Amino acid sequence: MTEHDTSSRPVLRLKPKADARRIRHGYPWVHRDELVTDRRTQAIAPGTIAVLEDAERQPLGTVAVTIESRIAARMLDRDPLAEIDGTWIAARLEMALAHRARAFDAPFYRLVHAEADGLPGVVIDRFGDAAVLQPNSAWADARADLFADALIALGLSHVLLNASGRSRDAEGLDDTARWLRGGLDDAVAVPMNGATYMADLIGGQKTGLFYDQRPNHAFVAGLARDARVLDVFSHVGGFGLAALAAGATSALAVDGSAPALALAERGAAAMGRADDFAIRRGDAFAVMADLATEGATFDIVVADPPAFAPSKQALTQGLRAYEKVARNAAPLVAPGGYLTLCSCSHAADLSKFRMACIRGIGRAGRSGQLVHTGYAGADHPVHPQLTESGYLKALTFRLMP
């Protein structure tokens, strides 16, 4: 197949009732029930590059296909003649890098945020001269070496393929992580908001660090001078270390992962604040109950749990869990103190999440003011037509006496 010949590419066609106009206007996904399917389309291998046509056989663009997935096709390029090769990948990465280089003064950020950066199903986090590539769709996994080559050409030295993405199963992909280029033997020290975080790129959760919370760490840190801080679901010390860097007197980190808490302790030590940083390993709800029994209170309490509502099917149960977090956390806030509650569940929109938090605070017998609503940082751009890309919410309440 030449650059200007798509005759050997499979063709996917929309059903007459499918909304081709939405795709023309930029929506990046085609769901399986929107496509005309027959034996030919059912036989298309995952990750295949194809041409998408509307019901009148007019081309809409170049797509990556995983026909058995709920998202059967992902738009790669509006040009139906586009060649999805190393040159194309390098151009997308250069565009993504140009934004981050302007927005951040150090090379620690999310370099690629999937569809929002024109690379569907691809997440890349940068840690100095190392990158963690998470190809969550078959087309990208098949081109992992092209991504690695392009990252090395941008000046990086180490590229790890992380295979822990939740959607890889639906794409028929394995869960084996491996270094594609270079390799590191220890956690990476990441400077952010004046704090030092230790990111385990190989054995840590997801890519090793949650860059999306950077602006919310900063907001809470701005309240933290001379404060006692409780950081629940702390991972490697996200909110607690940022608060210490801003002048908090103490921080207690709570998490179920011993390795994550060990990294948090290393971060506190690197900052010279080891004596002011404590940990409790255990179930977050149980630890919060124990703290309440002990009569402990804090000037700032933060709860940043995992995605309790990762899908619409889990929404009702997830909202109950967020309400329970708020109900357990609110009694631990000193009068006039602050409670920050977070959700990374795209299925729980801001309104639903806010109401769950308010219910939980009320059922704990507390009342307060909503003083701030936060989102992910500039390295996590939102695709204007894909609400899933704007998943993160962080609400800070001031609880009254």
Domains of the chain: total? 3
Last residue of a domain, one of 121, 156, 181: 181
Task: Determine, yes or no, domain membership for 156.
Answer: yes
Last residue of a domain, one of 77, 95, 117: 77
- Do 292 and 202 lie in one domain? The reply is yes
- Do 176 and 198 lie in one domain? The reply is no
Mean pLDDT of 251-276: 97
- Do 159 and 30 lie in one domain? The reply is no
- Do 100 and 39 lie in one domain? The reply is no
Task: Determine, yes or no, domain membership for 160.
Answer: yes
Last residue of a domain, one of 164, 181, 198: 181
Q: Residue 118 maps to which CATH number?
A: 3.30.750.80
- Do 241 and 98 lie in one domain? The reply is no
CA distance 338 to 361: 12
Residue 2 is predicted with a pLDDT of: 40
Task: Determine, yes or no, domain membership for 388.
Answer: yes
The yes-or-no verdict on residue 170 having pLDDT over 90 is: no
Give the model confidence (pLDDT) of 326-370 as tens digits: 999 999 999 999 999 999 998 999 999 999 999 999 999 999 999
- Do 61 and 156 lie in one domain? The reply is no
- Do 176 and 193 lie in one domain? The reply is no
Q: CA neighbours within 13 Å on the CB side: how many for 48?
A: 21
Contact 96, 122 (CB under 8 A): no
Residue 258 is predicted with a pLDDT of: 96
- Do 206 and 317 lie in one domain? The reply is yes
- Do 97 and 50 lie in one domain? The reply is no
What range does the domain containing 43 cover? 11-77
Task: Determine, yes or no, domain membership for 105.
Answer: yes
The yes-or-no verdict on residue 126 having pLDDT over 60 is: yes
For residue 330, how many other CB atoms are within 10 A of its CB?
Answer: 26
Residue 207 is predicted with a pLDDT of: 86
Burial group, residue 339, by CB count within 10 angstroms (0-12, 13-18, 19+): buried
- Do 208 and 249 lie in one domain? The reply is yes
SS3 readout for the chain: CCCCCCCCCCEEEECCCCCHHHHHCCCCEEEHHHECCCHHHHCCCCCEEEEEECCCCCEEEEEEECCCCCEEEEEEECCCCCCCCHHHHHHHHHHHHHHHHHHCCCCEEEEEEHHHHCCCCEEEEEECCEEEEEECCHHHHCCHHHHHHHHHHCCCCEEEECCCCHHHCCCCCCCCCEEEECCCCCCEEEEECCEEEEECCCCCCCCCCCHHHHHHHHHHHCCCCCCEEEEECCCCCHHHHHHHHCCCCEEEEEECCHHHHHHHHHHHHHCCCHHHEEEEECCHHHHHHHHHHHCCCEEEEEECCCCCCCCHHHHHHHHHHHHHHHHHHHHHEEEEEEEEEEECCCCCCHHHHHHHHHHHHHHCCCCEEEEEEECCCCCCCCCCCCHHHCCCEEEEEEECC
Residue 6 is predicted with a pLDDT of: 55
Binning pLDDT at 50, 70 and 90, where does residue 5 land? low
Give the model confidence (pLDDT) of 34-48 as tens digits: 999 999 999 999 999
- Do 94 and 33 lie in one domain? The reply is no
Task: Determine, yes or no, domain membership for 4.
Answer: no
Binning pLDDT at 50, 70 and 90, where does residue 174 land? confident
Task: Determine, yes or no, domain membership for 386.
Answer: yes
Q: Residue 64 maps to which CATH number?
A: 2.30.130.10
Give the model confidence (pLDDT) of 288-330 as tens digits: 999 999 999 999 999 999 999 888 899 999 999 999 999 999 9
- Do 144 and 249 lie in one domain? The reply is no
Task: Determine, yes or no, domain membership for 3.
Answer: no
Task: Determine, yes or no, domain membership for 251.
Answer: yes
